[in-house]
Amino acid sequence: MIMLKAAYLAGVVTAHAAARLADGEVLPPLMGYEHLSGRSYLSEIGSDGTTTPEMTAREGLEGNEHGAVRGVLVVDGRIEFLPEVDFALLIDIVEYGPVRQTMQLLLPYRHARSPRGFALHELSVVNFDNIADADEAPILARIFDGVYSLPAHVELWDKHFEKT
């Protein structure tokens, strides 16, 4: 079983994060998760006072603190990747189950305060575990189904995507 439902959820959470970044907002870690009932949730993760928000979020995803069947974490970060592209969303996807499946992706972007304005670049797979190579393409397609699930996100992606 491949993680298509988790991939769709990842697309929705990633699109939400991109919309906030396009508006110039500071993005806290975002966690999306779905229960067996099919009900999904989106949470902003703050600090618990002992660790950074990113560590709190990562621990929550790894430990499945919500008792979910699938989870997604989107964290904003800095990278040295392309000229004028110093930022990226790091996207962690987990399908909890008898065999845990994970995928980590990177979505570079140009910050909204850049002289050239906000831009999204190509999504790339960084790592995956317990997923066959042949399943990568359907998973990525399902991520974009999630990205394009709301008309506002379609418009945002189409307006700000720059092929690198």
Q: What is the pLDDT of residues 135-164, one digit of tens each?
A: 999 999 999 999 999 999 999 999 999 987
The SS3 assignment for 118 reads coil
The residue written with tokens 């399902």 in the block is 142
At residue 78, the pLDDT reads: 84
* Burial tier of 151 (Cβ tally within 10 Å: 0-12, 13-18, 19+): exposed
Three-state DSSP at 159 gives: helix
**Region of residue 50 (phi > 0: left; psi between -120 and 50: alpha; otherwise: beta):** alpha
Q: pLDDT tens across 39-88, in order?
A: 999 999 987 778 899 999 999 999 998 899 999 999 998 887 666 668 99
